[in-house]
Chain A
């Protein structure tokens, strides 16, 4: 177990190193630097600022310095927000994104799995058809359009919820809905098809022959086997909720981390770009590790060292 974890950690470090290197290269390939502005600064000032942030060092030196600091979990100072480090900014804004992301995740999981079960249970009934139509719509409408429709409906036509900002529970509802709509639809389709697969298995027939009721059959026998594809989707989903959230965050003017990523690229805020990319990638890696830990709980035939299908 410990050996396994250490192996995974070593793997994660390699992945992070690759990510830092790619991002570092790409970032410096963007024309312009963090202190190139419309209004030309006097060369002396530019030189002083570049000296201050070591931007006049060779790229190799900068890379090496960054790696040393990153290894000590220090992501460096932000160029655009003087006096703040990247660590500060992440610590300040990530809790907001995490709250929104987690609420959306649970919303998507709850709605998706329940709706998928209902659709599979009543296969080819109006329940199934209406659920499938909703799910297909949910998958094919981009989240910013859903957000726009939600704002129009619930903030302007029937003003019952705030249109934007982030000041309390009622401010969470619309962005969480906008963010969860697509994954919920996807999970629903996934759950439905895998429950239908599971229901066609022999052990279900056996259980039915033994007189197990439909409800218990569905919940105790079929669902557990049907959950595996859903579990393996949670990893990429969490990533999508976190990275995809910057659209929703900017529509709803939510002070989260997502918005910083796009602005930092426009600002050429090198340390911020690197810091946020590393942070997101780290989250995804951790998420995958947790998911791999969940597999054996859902399906005891899978052990940690050997995943299904490998």
Chain B
């Protein structure tokens, strides 16, 4: 950022104006409260998250307790969701699955966020030739079928929870990088950034107080919508046998096991599939609501 063009005003002459700032949070929350679907989504996400955190603490079984006498038992007061082919309580496995699936969604999205914000931020801030080259690289990576690479990475890394985080995290940051770069580029030209600069505000201050808060909306929306995507991808990986390793089980693993026994024991598919789909719905509603609340003008771009 270049401050030479401007003669900073003497700081003593500036009378600070104190208007309570209309923060992203207050404005967004006011909008969100009117959107019933978004609130429903938020509710689902909060409930699922607390289930994932506290659920396994209050159950009387563990996810790998086997009871062959009770194998494939239908839902009953003893086992609310029934048991699987090894006599493991399905409810407990779904609860632990919530932990695993949600943590995968969250961890992969945070890695996306980290890489995407740094990459996109550098491209947008530096601009010029650096930006062109960096965005060319993103374009090249875009034309690679990512699912194939995630599969390859998973085989290289060996299936495991940490490796799923990493593989999903390093494969899907492109979108985030593009959005952050676009935001930074357009913010750089905004009048209030120029104004702040003419006041002699430091680059760091402009970055942290003006640019980042104004980028937050689209970033939060992208983050929210990338969580279900990661959970989805993990479910696909589980389906082809590259998910978390047994006896742990994500919803994806439980669902694909359920598909195999769908004909004889449909409840083994229904419960994990329902958990998976309801959570997806929650994140979708929440993401859509956040998009409407946080960046109304960007509605169409975000839809892509």
Interface residues of A (CB under 8 A from B): 14-15, 18-19, 22-23, 26-27, 29-30, 136-137, 139-142, 144-145, 148, 152, 156, 189-190, 193-194, 197, 229, 232-233, 239, 242-244, 246-247, 250-251, 261-262, 265-266, 273, 276-277, 280-281, 284-285, 288
Inter-chain contact A280/B299, CB cutoff 8 Å: no
**Cβ contact of A142, chosen from B148, B149, B151, B276, cutoff 8 A:** B276
Inter-chain contact A144/B152, CB cutoff 8 Å: no
Stretch at the interface among B56-64, B196-204, B211-219, B279-287: B279-287
Given contacts A26-B156, A285-B143, contact A247 B240 (CB under 8 A): yes
Inter-chain contact B147/A148, CB cutoff 8 Å: no
A-B contact pairs, 26 of them (CB 8 A): A19-B144, A22-B144, A26-B156, A27-B152, A136-B281, A140-B281, A142-B235, A142-B255, A144-B235, A144-B256, A145-B276, A145-B277, A190-B303, A190-B304, A193-B300, A232-B304, A244-B236, A247-B236, A262-B240, A265-B155, A276-B148, A277-B145, A281-B143, A284-B144, A285-B143, A288-B143
Inter-chain contact B143/A15, CB cutoff 8 Å: yes
**Min CB–CB distance B193 → chain A (angstroms):** 21
Residues from chain A with a CB closer than 8 A to the CB of B155 are 30, 265-266
- For the complex, what is the distance from the CA of A261 to the CA of B149, rounded to whole Å? 11
Given contacts A232-B304, A251-B259, 11 further A-B contacts (CB under 8 A): A14-B140, A26-B149, A26-B152, A26-B153, A26-B156, A136-B285, A229-B304, A233-B304, A247-B239, A265-B155, A284-B144
Q: How many residues of B contact A (CB 8 A)?
A: 37
Inter-chain contact A197/B281, CB cutoff 8 Å: no
B 161-215 contacts with A by CB, 8 A: none
**Cβ contact of B277, chosen from A141, A250, A284, cutoff 8 A:** A141
**Min CB–CB distance A189 → chain B (angstroms):** 7
- For the complex, what is the distance from the CA of A284 to the CA of B284, rounded to whole Å? 27
**Min CB–CB distance A215 → chain B (angstroms):** 24
